[in-house]
Structure 1
Amino acid sequence: MAGTAGSVPIREIRSLEEFDRAALGGSLAGCRLQALDLTERTFALLVVDSSRAVFLGCRMEPQALAHIRAGGALVFPPIPGLPFDPYRAAPYTPDELYAGLGDGDGYPGTPDALTYAWSRRTGADGDVLSSMLRSVHDDALSDALDELMRGARVVGVMGGHAMERGSLAYAGAARLGRDLARSGLTVATGGGPGAMEAANLGAYGAPYDDVMLVKALDVLAKVPAFAPSVGEWAAAAMAVRDRWPDGGPSYGLPTWFYGHEPPNPFASHIAKFFANATREDGLLSRCDAGVVFLPGAAGTVQEVFDAATANYYGSRGEPAPMVLVDRAHWTTTLPVWPLLTALAGQRPMADRIALVDSVRDVPAALARLSWG
Structure 2
Amino acid sequence: MPTDRAANAAHNDHEIESLAEFDEAVTSGSLAGFRIQSVDLTERTFALLAADTTEAVFLGCPMQPEAAAKVRAGGALVFPPVPHLPFDPYRGALYSPTELFTGLARGYEYTPDARSYTWFQRTKTDGDIFASMLRSIHDDAVSDALDEHLLGSRVVGVMGGHALERGSDDYAGAARLGSSLARAGLTVATGGGPGAMEAANLGAYAASFAGEMLGEALELLAKAPSFAPSVGHWAKAAFDVRDRWPDGGTSIGIPTWFYGHEPPNAFASHIAKYFANATREDGLLARCNAGVVFLPGAAGTVQEIFDNATPNYYESRGAPTPMVLVNRDHWTRRLPTWPLLQALAEGRSMVHRIELVESVDDAPAALARMAAA
Question: How far did residue 279 of structure 1 move?
Answer: 0.4
RMSD: 1.1
Which amino acid in 2 is paired with 1:60? M
1:163 alignment partner in structure 2: 164
2:152 alignment partner in structure 1: 151
Structure 2 unaligned spans of 5+: 1-7
Say how many residue pairs are matched.
366
1:132 alignment partner in structure 2: 133
Match of 1:94 among 88, 92, 97: 97
Structure 1 unaligned spans of 5+: none
TM-score calculated relative to the size of structure 1: 0.97
Look up the SS of the partner of 2:105 in the other structure.
coil
1:43 alignment partner in structure 2: 46
Question: How far did residue 2 of structure 1 move?
Answer: 5.8
TM-score calculated relative to the size of structure 2: 0.97
Q: Does residue 1:26 correspond to 2:29, yes or no? A: yes
Q: Distance in 2 between matches of 1:132 and 1:196?
A: 29
- Contact 1:2 1:12 (8 Å CA) reproduced: no
Which amino acid in 2 is paired with 1:295? P
Mapping for residues 287-306 of structure 1, pairs under 5 Å: 287-306=288-307
Look up the SS of the partner of 2:69 in the other structure.
helix
Which amino acid in 2 is paired with 1:87? Y
Residue identity (%): 70
- Contact 1:290 1:322 (8 Å CA) reproduced: yes
- Which stretch shifts more, 183-192 or 119-128? 119-128
Q: Distance in 1 between matches of 2:47 and 2:148?
A: 27
Question: How far did residue 124 of structure 1 move?
Answer: 2.4
Which amino acid in 1 is paired with 2:333? T
Q: Distance in 2 between matches of 1:192 and 1:10?
A: 33
Q: Distance in 1 between matches of 2:316 and 2:160?
A: 24
Look up the SS of the partner of 2:356 in the other structure.
strand
Q: Distance in 1 between matches of 2:239 and 2:259?
A: 22
Question: How far did residue 210 of structure 1 move?
Answer: 3.9
Question: How far did residue 18 of structure 1 move?
Answer: 1.3
- Contact 1:290 1:320 (8 Å CA) reproduced: yes
State the 4+ residue runs in structure 1 displaced beyond 6 angstroms. none
2:84 alignment partner in structure 1: 81
Q: Distance in 1 between matches of 2:300 and 2:211?
A: 31
Which amino acid in 1 is paired with 2:274? F
Question: How far did residue 371 of structure 1 move?
Answer: 4.5
1:122 alignment partner in structure 2: 123
Q: Distance in 2 between matches of 1:66 and 1:250?
A: 42
Look up the SS of the partner of 2:164 in the other structure.
coil
2:223 alignment partner in structure 1: 222
Q: Distance in 2 between matches of 1:16 and 1:97?
A: 22
Change (3 A) 1:243 1:187: same
Q: Does residue 1:71 correspond to 2:80, yes or no? A: no
Look up the SS of the partner of 1:102 in the other structure.
helix
